[in-house]
Structure 1
Amino acid sequence: MTKEASKLVYLYLSLIFASVSSASASTVKCSFKQHGSGNTIQGMFVFGSSLVDNGNNNFLETESKADYLPYGIDFPNGTTGRFTNGKNVIDLLGDQLKLPFIPPFQDPSTKGSKIVHGVNHASGSTGILDDTGLVLGNATSLSQQVKDFEVVTLAELEAELGCNSSQSLPSYLIVVGVGGNDYMLNYFLRKLYLQISIETFTANLIDSLAQKLQELYILGGRKFVLTSLMPLGYSPVINRPNHIGTPSALNYAAQLYNAHLKTLLDSLKTHLSDFNFVLVDQYNIISNLTYSPPSTTGFKDIHNPCCTVSLSQGGIGISCDRGGKACDDRTAYMYFDGLHPTEAVNVQIATKAYASTQQDEAYPINVSQLAQLQI
């Protein structure tokens, strides 16, 4: 059976499962708690890497950690494991949706009533491919994140809400932010380009991601938010001594991945009529901020990290020095460390994701519109 045929079979089985789930969903109502947001979204379940991790790596044996200052220097609760100075995109989207902070899955206290507004499964340094997260230690792969969600989180959610996932998940956003590490920490760092073309590698990534999205759909997810890759070649780590790749090669990889991601999401929507999504185009958002005058954006430094970057902590010059210095005006910097944006940039991304009517920022609709859809 060809790969394309396998995809069609998988989609067909998904449709069958969806029809069965829909038939049973009408008999039981979930006991949702009202949170006064005025929309139909009860919470978010989050998957991905450090751009959306909110503390899972605190509990894992990995070099990829943000559980120390200056990370969290501007966060209301202090240092929590978020890879920025303040809030990440997930926190800010939650603010827009009037949701509480989403707890990290790996925290032992994330159980019971704490999960009714969602759980964050993301893990810093991980990727779509299982071996990507091994570069810096024991990150949770995307495959394992989905498995943890299915086996642990959904069982807890069913107990709390009194309904199964096909009945509850249409009322949640499924947020996926992943892929950059597969290039930076895998394809380029491991010099896989000597063995496989970037086009073939990207096609493999998209095939793997498609399978994960279909698994989440089968479980009951109907409202998906995915982020494109940022312009990886603009990251400050590229301007430091590094073994990752050239700016042009990294940006080409990101553009290639983003084009394939958009095609995949359109295809899923074509085959699964109740599959709804927003693609947040971080590439365009950050590119526009990079090339706009500082007088309009407020970003006076678009090249350098705000914190003193370590060449040992976290590896390859990405992470801040433990207990090191941070710039005084964090709103003037685009990047907090060698890779991750400042809260000020995250505000721009989250705001555009939630409300932009420009399809080169939020495609084909925005998160606010997605939240209002009746499923």
Structure 2
Amino acid sequence: MMPTLLFLCLVIYACFSSCNASATKIKGMFVFGSSLVDNGNNNFLQNSAKADYLPYGVDFPYGPSGRFTNGKNVIDLLGEQLKLPFFIPPFADPSTKGSRIVHGVNFASGGSGILDDTGSIAGHVISLPQQIRNFKEVTLPELEAEMGNRSKKFLQSYLFVVGTGGNDYSFNYFLRKSNNTVSLEAFTANLITSLSRQLKKLYNLGGRKFVLMSVNPIGCSPMVKAVQPRRQGCVQVLNKAVELFNVHLKSLAVDIKPQMPASYLVYVNSYKIIRDIIKNPLSKGFKDEINACCEVASVNEGGNGILCQKQGRVCADRSAHVFFDGLHPTEAVNMQIATKAFASMRTTEVYPFNVQNLTEH
């Protein structure tokens, strides 16, 4: 009886160890990008791109936190998949130091872009180049001191997540007259070149595992549809622009590897994941793929067509809506993106492999 019991205990232990292996291989995440991955940095900046009030955070454990959704964003949910012990703290929060940075830091800033001048319409936002400078000049030295390790090799156990690019089209290319003489192809090529340069900087600082988030289908957002209320379906000129970017971003995940030896990059096609929901919402568990869940003030009403009204109305069933405000998805959509990013076996959704496989490298 005892040998049998001992054998069963060993089997259970082995299974438990293997099932939780991914939870121990990734220590944390460093996050760079815009509002889709911002965990609250804009709360501490002077700008109009804020989500630190209700109904934002109506379903988040700590209420309004600066996340541009009703509950958890895709970074929070990916962190849960990775079994990280707590939410990744925002860089701009004065309390983000010491032991709080051991499992990663979020540098993302709502309204920002790959280019430095993107987002200036919103006020003080932190561009991608500045986010990476913040990592290099502030967080990395603090982390090295906290870990007692200056070899940079410890960064191989962190994911570097980058989710940006949409604002470069919405609030730069399509908004500024100075871009009238610049072709979409040339603008996109410049974005990809700039992004490539920033990824190499992170690589040279010690990053080895990268997750690149595609730009979402902004042409399907309530913000865009509100500008053209009579139009049926999505605004294709915007979607075609970000589709072009996404094609190049997916290629970059492979093409940049020779310049970044021993690195691993995963491309998450959140564009397709959201587009599939919009095309057939009922089959994915959604009922409204058109309207914002919260009350959004239009430009004519003194708003920007994107953000929720402070203390404004909010739909009762957030899980049935694709969009929470005029641009950003609900937690329910974020959950689908994070789940597929982590475990999908379809290369049309994650390429060349999923985040779970990335943790094994």
User: What TM-score does the superposition give when structure 2 sets the normalisation length?
Assistant: 0.90
Tell me the distance in 1 between the aligned counterparts of 2:218 and 2:177: 17
Shift of 1:52: 0.2
For each residue in 1:286-330, what CA deviation from the matched residue of structure 2 results, as whole angstroms up to 9, or x when unmatched?
A: 111111251x21111101100000236995310000111110000
Q: Is 1:300 matched up with 2:300?
A: no
Q: Is 1:135 matched up with 2:121?
A: yes
Mark the runs of 5 or more structure 2 residues left unpaired by the alignment.
1-19
| Paired position in structure 2 for 1:120 | 106
| Paired position in structure 2 for 1:175 | 161
Tell me the distance in 2 between the aligned counterparts of 1:314 and 1:145: 31
SS, match of residue 240 in structure 1: helix
| Paired position in structure 2 for 1:341 | 329
SS, match of residue 61 in structure 1: coil
8 Å Cα contact 1:154/1:165 also seen in 2: no
8 Å Cα contact 2:281/2:289 also seen in 1: no
| Paired position in structure 2 for 1:7 | none
Task: Give the aligned CA root-mean-square deviation in angstroms.
Answer: 1.8
Matches within 5 A, 1:138-287: 138-164=124-150, 166-241=152-227, 247-287=235-275
SS, match of residue 256 in structure 1: helix
Q: Is 1:108 matched up with 2:101?
A: no
8 Å Cα contact 1:237/1:318 also seen in 2: yes
Tell me the distance in 2 between the aligned counterparts of 1:266 and 1:326: 42
Which residue of 296, 309, 314 corresponds with 1:309?
296
For each residue in 1:177-208, what CA deviation from the matched residue of structure 2 results, as whole angstroms up to 9, or x when unmatched?
A: 00000000111122444121100000010110
Tell me the distance in 1 between the aligned counterparts of 2:26 and 2:253: 21
**1:314–1:352 distance in 2 versus 1, CA, 3 Å:** farther
| Paired position in structure 2 for 1:319 | 307
8 Å Cα contact 2:269/2:349 also seen in 1: yes
Tell me the distance in 1 between the aligned counterparts of 2:155 and 2:82: 16
| Paired position in structure 2 for 1:52 | 37
Tell me the distance in 1 between the aligned counterparts of 2:240 and 2:341: 23
SS, match of residue 116 in structure 2: coil
**1:175–1:315 distance in 2 versus 1, CA, 3 Å:** farther
| Paired position in structure 2 for 1:70 | 55
Shift of 1:38: 3.5
Mark the runs of 5 or more structure 1 residues left unpaired by the alignment.
1-34
SS, match of residue 251 in structure 2: helix
Tell me the distance in 1 between the aligned counterparts of 2:203 and 2:179: 33
1:239 counterpart letter in structure 2: K
**1:150–1:298 distance in 2 versus 1, CA, 3 Å:** same
SS, match of residue 143 in structure 2: helix
1:297 counterpart letter in structure 2: K
| Paired position in structure 1 for 2:17 | none
| Paired position in structure 2 for 1:61 | 46
Tell me the distance in 1 between the aligned counterparts of 2:47 and 2:33: 16
2:141 counterpart letter in structure 1: A
1:264 counterpart letter in structure 2: L
Higher radius of gyration, 1 or 2? 2
User: What TM-score does the superposition give when structure 1 sets the normalisation length?
Assistant: 0.87
Q: Is 1:288 matched up with 2:273?
A: no
Shift of 1:133: 1.7
1:196 counterpart letter in structure 2: V
SS, match of residue 266 in structure 2: strand
For each residue in 1:256-292, what CA deviation from the matched residue of structure 2 results, as whole angstroms up to 9, or x when unmatched?
A: 0011111222111234331101110011111111112
SS, match of residue 251 in structure 1: helix
SS, match of residue 49 in structure 2: coil
SS, match of residue 242 in structure 2: helix
Shift of 1:219: 0.2
Shift of 1:165: 5.7
